[in-house]
């Protein structure tokens, strides 16, 4: 079947392309490291994408629409619906559209997102998310409150970014050279972080446990992972009671957050992030078509 459109999830460091047929089937996919930080000539990159897409429309999402990307797509104001997102698509060239992000202008907790909104509405399209709380674990975890089918409020936690910084250049770098397990040490870190607000002290405490012989470096890496994710979950659950949280992300990271949520007495639903992105891209294109016909 002739494909209907190409959806591109274009982030800071990576890019994924999905060729989606008229019936929603993904007929081709690929990924590379051509995130926005690796691109110096956006017109050339766009020309290559258009050549690969042929006559298909292009739907670009993520950081490509930021002020550091190709063409800035202004944020949609929260509360933001799928229809509002589709109506605000930016078209810098015929057949090329960029998905806007979402901005929260609360003076006490201003926040922004780009790309996660596509996956959130994809989880809705898959029937995995109604009103309630969703979490997109990752470099910048997003905790999103959904009301009336739209993004009402959200909060970003820089957990993945902090972990990358600690691994790259900190007193904990040697410990974090070990892959953290999903084990009792991870759970102990989660439990501590859920009950206390001393994350930075406990991060150093992991090193002290290794130096004093109380813990191996591999075990300390698991504890640090638990501390970071437990703190993330504590922040995300802070505003209101949510008995079930929908996790939208990679299966491995979802599993870590699901265990942390279970320790906090919550259930979770796991949705694969790539599957959600494809469903979200389809939902946005359908909503735009519906809006144009109205």
Q: What's the pLDDT tens digit per position in 124-181?
A: 999 999 899 999 999 999 999 999 999 999 999 999 999 999 999 999 999 999 999 9
Q: Is residue 187 part of a domain?
A: yes
Q: Is residue 80 part of a domain?
A: no
Question: With b meaning 16 or more CB within 10 Å and e meaning fewer, what string describes 48-82?
Answer: ebbeebeebbbbbbbbbbbeebbbbbebbebbbbb
Domain with residue 255: its CATH number is 3.30.420.310
Q: Is residue 235 part of a domain?
A: yes
Q: Is residue 250 part of a domain?
A: yes
Q: Is residue 102 part of a domain?
A: no
**pTM of the shown model:** 0.94
Largest Cα separation within the chain, whole Å, is 69
Q: Is residue 86 part of a domain?
A: no
Cα separation, 179 vs 158, whole angstroms: 20
Per-residue pLDDT tens over the stretch 223-245? 999 999 999 999 999 876 789 99
Inter-axis angle of helices 184-195 and 251-263, nearest 10: 60
Q: Is residue 259 part of a domain?
A: yes
DSSP 3-state assignment of 207? Answer: helix
| Overall number of domains in the chain | 1
Quote the domain boundaries for residue 197: 109-294
Inter-axis angle of helices 217-236 and 251-263, nearest 10: 70
Query: What tokens appear for 51 in the block?
Result: 């050549």
């Amino acid at each position: 079947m002739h494909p209907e459109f190409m959806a591109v999830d274009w982030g800071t460091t990576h890019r994924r392309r999905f060729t989606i047929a008229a019936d929603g089937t993904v007929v081709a996919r690929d990924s590379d490291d051509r995130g926005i930080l690796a691109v110096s000539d956006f017109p050339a990159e766009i020309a290559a994408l258009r050549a690969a897409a042929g006559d298909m429309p292009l739907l670009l999402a993520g950081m490509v629409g930021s002020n550091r990307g190709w063409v800035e797509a202004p944020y949609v104001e929260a509360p933001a619906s799928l229809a509002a997102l589709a109506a605000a698509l930016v078209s810098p060239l015929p057949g090329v559209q960029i998905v806007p992000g979402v901005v929260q202008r609360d003076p006490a907790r201003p926040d922004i997102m780009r790309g996660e909104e596509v996956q959130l509405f994809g989880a809705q399209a898959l029937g995995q998310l109604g009103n309630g709380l969703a979490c997109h674990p990752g470099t910048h975890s997003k905790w999103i409150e959904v009301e009336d089918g739209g993004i009402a409020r959200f909060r970003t936690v820089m957990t993945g970014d902090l972990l990358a910084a600690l691994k790259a250049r900190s007193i904990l770098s040697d410990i974090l050279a070990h892959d953290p397990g999903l084990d009792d040490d991870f759970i102990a870190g989660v439990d501590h972080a859920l009950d206390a607000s001393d994350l930075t002290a406990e991060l150093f405490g992991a090193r002290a446990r290794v130096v004093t012989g109380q813990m191996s470096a591999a075990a300390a890496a698991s504890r640090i992972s638990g501390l970071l994710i437990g703190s993330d979950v504590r922040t995300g659950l802070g505003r209101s009671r949510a008995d079930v949280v929908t996790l939208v992300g990679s299966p491995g990271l979802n599993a870590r957050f699901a265990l942390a949520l279970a320790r906090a007495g919550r259930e979770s639903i796991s949705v694969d992030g790539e599957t959600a992105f494809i469903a979200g891209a389809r939902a946005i294109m359908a909503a735009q078509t519906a809006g144009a016909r109205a």
